[in-house]
Chains A and B, each alone.
Chain A
């Protein structure tokens, strides 16, 4: 009887403790979900650590595991395979003076090379074999070219940064420059769907967070200047049929700490590489391509093209808002004649939400964003919210940065710019499926009542403001964490 009572009491107490601990666990799990950098979309957590790094501390050793057997010396550059072979190739193809040939042997080589090959008998002969193999390899390539078309294009895309400026700027009219380096292939895509799936997969491997495809409308193409040609009025080239639109976010923690800790260039540099590589990849599989990337290498207006490609909707602040990245979305594109299947635009209620929200307008230090209840300006035949570009740029020149490198407060305060954790994912999924709009209204009420916004002027330096940021800066960007100041 006693043991039964003990068991009962034990389970009662354990139940209370279990209940309390599980609620504490809920708090911990919630906190972890909120704080975890894993829930940032489109930005790897390498920079933030986590358990991807092996804990080396228990294995620290006093001595390295390599073994010293003689008197150490520095490495002669000629000991590097590629530098050595480069020297040999230069001697074999010399344009001035006599050329070196294998028949002359190592003794005819200049000092360092001669010494190396004296010390490594057989190495020259091996290089001769390698060169012969290389000639065979190139001669055999047509036999394998089709089988490995994609792998070769993928490698070429990644290697393309090696040749001078990247991506190579257009030279001459698009009918010439967009076809430069194109591979002539007789392979036909199985279907446009296969083409779009392939391009999306490849673009994601280049680092794109979001990829969408649209048929390029003429009205989104700029006029008056054409890269590779200069100032000119031009017809939209016939081969600019589709646009592959690429989106990446800014690094999240610094983006929330705009205007002073964030920057635009993190996303710009990524987009330059992704779109540049995609441009090369598409040409290597046989189609024309031209990359369009920030800050100024564009012939198309990006937000409407991204809307056509189904990535998101345009917000009150004029920036594209996507379900995944919110307003923390930066864009590039590659125009091409590759026959690919376009995506459809989406309507997830962002534009309607912007009608009511106005947080970006309230927090904009420059007052550049419209407060109108509905889009209030007709721009080149389309209705949108008006943005006062000059006022916006004035704030770029007013905040506490070294030069006019942007503000981005509207990106940081946008309610859509949120992490990919359980809480915000529920909102992402429920909101667009609620036909009544009540859920969105409830979310907006909470956003305005619960969340803390510093106020538009606070982002400016004294005396107008206090150099506030939307959220605090990350530790790794705080100078006082690392330096005595």
Chain B
């Protein structure tokens, strides 16, 4: 199926974003349990940093695939590669903040 059908559809597009909202809620509820079980205590600013990092990953994936969707495949892959690497490094740093002794 051509995925653009979803994003050019006046019915499927809003449904897609509703499902995405649901997935986000699941992600954060699940993450709460994972962190608790790992013995990581979360404060508001840790949650904020984590959410920002995840938003960054989200935007970079969306950005790379936007370029690929525009037939700029090389640009999309470079975008994912360069900024994805940056996000992995930032993610490692975030993990050190969340679990200093881990």
Query: Which residues of A does B touch, CB under 8 Å?
Result: 8, 11-19, 21-23, 25-38, 45, 49-51, 256, 419, 421-423, 446, 449-452, 471-472
A-B contact pairs, 8 of them (CB 8 A): A19-B30, A27-B64, A33-B62, A50-B9, A446-B75, A450-B75, A450-B82, A452-B75
Chain B residues near A256 (CB-CB < 8 A): 71
**A33 & B69 in contact (Cβ 8 Å cutoff):** yes
Report the nearest A residue to B33, measured CB to CB.
A12
Task: Judge if B53 is at the interface, Cβ distance under 8 Å.
Answer: no
Enumerate chain B residues within 8 angstroms of A34, measured Cβ to Cβ. 65-70, 72, 76
A31 to B8 alpha-carbon distance, docked (Å):
12
- A26 touching B71 by the CB < 8 A rule? no
User: Is B57 positioned at the interface, with any CB of A under 8 Å from its CB?
Assistant: yes
As a 0/1 sequence over residues 1 to 42 of chain B, the CB contacts with chain A under 8 angstroms (1 = contact) are: 001111111111000100110111111111111100100000
In the bound complex, CA of A320 to CA of B86 (Å): 37
Which residue of B7, B58, B64 contacts A32 across the interface (Cβ within 8 Å)?
Answer: B7
State whether B74 touches A452 (Cβ < 8 A). Answer: yes
Chain B residue numbers with a CB within 8 Å of A423 are: 62-63, 66-67
Q: Is the CB of B8 within 8 A of A38?
A: yes
- A19-B54, A30-B69 known; 5 new pairs, CB 8 Å cut-off, are A14-B26, A15-B34, A29-B20, A32-B7, A472-B71
Given A11-B30, A14-B30, A50-B9, A31 contacting B79 (CB threshold 8 A): no
Q: How far is the CA of A37 from the CA of B4 in the complex (A)?
A: 9
Contact assessment for A45 and B78 in the assembled complex, using a CB-CB cutoff below 8 Å:
no
Complex formed: what's the CA distance from A8 to B64 in Å?
Answer: 34
Assess the A15–B33 pair: CB atoms within 8 A: yes
Q: Give the distance in Å from the alpha carbon of A50 to the alpha carbon of B78 in the complex.
A: 30
| Distance of A29 Cα from B3 Cα, bound (Å) | 9
Find out whether the CB atom of B67 lies under 8 angstroms from the CB atom of A15: no
Give A346 Cβ to nearest chain B Cβ, in Å. 26
**Complexed CA–CA distance, A30 and B59 (Å):** 9
Q: Is B98 an interface residue (CB 8 A)?
A: no
10 pairs of A and B residues whose beta carbons are closest in the complex: A15-B30, A34-B69, A32-B7, A18-B26, A30-B62, A30-B65, A35-B69, A50-B8, A34-B66, A450-B78
**A22-B20, A30-B69 known; A15+B28 contact, CB < 8 A:** yes
Expressed in whole angstroms, the minimum distance between the Cβ of B82 and any Cβ of chain A is 8
The verdict on B94 contacting chain A, using a C-beta distance below 8 Å, is no
Is B8 a contact partner of A22 (Cβ separation < 8 A)?
A: no
Measured in the bound complex, the distance between the Cα atoms of B54 and A380 in whole Å is: 56
Q: Are A29 and B7 in contact (CB under 8 A)?
A: yes
CA distance A30 to B62 in the complex (A): 4
Partner of B33, one of A8, A32, A35, A37: A8
In the bound complex, how far is the Cα of B9 from the Cα of A49, in angstroms? 10
Q: When chains A and B are docked, how far (Å) is the Cα of A419 from the Cα of B72?
A: 12
B30 engages A51 (CB within 8 Å): no
Q: How far is the CA of A89 from the CA of B58 in the complex (A)?
A: 71
Q: In the complex, which of the residues B3, B58, B69, B76 contacts A26, with contact meaning CB atoms closer than 8 Å?
A: B58
Q: What is the minimal beta-carbon distance from B10 to any residue of chain A, in angstroms?
A: 6
Which of A14, A29, A33 has the most chain B CB atoms closer than 10 A to its own CB?
Answer: A29
Contact A28 B65 (CB under 8 A): yes
- The docked-state distance in angstroms from the alpha carbon of A29 to that of B24 is 15
Q: Tell me whether A23 and B57 are in contact (CB under 8 A).
A: yes
- Would you call B23 and A31 a contact (CB within 8 A)? no
Min distance, Cβ A130 to any Cβ of chain B, angstroms: 43
Q: Quick one: closest A residue to B81, CB to CB? A: A450
A345 to B39, CA, bound (A): 60
B3 cross-chain contacts in A, Cβ below 8 A: 28, 31-32, 35
* Residues of A contacting B34 in the complex (Cβ-Cβ under 8 angstroms): 12, 15-16
Neighbouring A residues of B68 by C-beta, 8 Å:
30-31, 34
Q: Which residue of A lies closest to B74 (CB)?
A: A452
B26–A11 CB distance below 8 A: yes
User: Which residues does chain A contribute within 8 Å of B76, judged by CB atoms?
Assistant: 34
In the complex, what residue of chain A is closest to B21 when comparing beta carbons?
A22
B71 neighbours in A (Cβ, 8 Å): 256, 471-472
B29 near A31: Cβ-Cβ < 8 Å: no
> Whole-angstrom distance between the alpha carbons of A393 and B69 in the complex?
34
The reply to whether B23 and A28 contact each other, CB–CB distance below 8 Å, is: no
B78 touches A449 (CB 8 A): yes
Most chain B beta-carbon neighbours within 10 Å: one of A18, A33, A452, A471: A18
**Does A450 lie within 8 Å of B74, measured CB to CB?**
yes
Separation of A371 and B51 alpha carbons in the complex (Å): 45
User: Which residues of the other chain, A, contact B66 by a CB distance below 8 angstroms?
Assistant: 30-31, 33-34, 421-423
Distance from A32 Cβ to chain B, minimum over Cβ atoms (Å): 3
> Which A residues are CB-close (under 8 A) to B24?
18, 22
A23-B26 contact, Cβ under 8 Å, with A30-B64, A31-B69, A34-B67: no
Are the C-beta atoms of B23 and A451 separated by less than 8 Å? no
B54 to chain A, nearest CB (A): 8
Measured between alpha carbons, how far is A256 from B63 in the docked complex, in Å? 20
B40 to chain A, nearest CB (A): 14
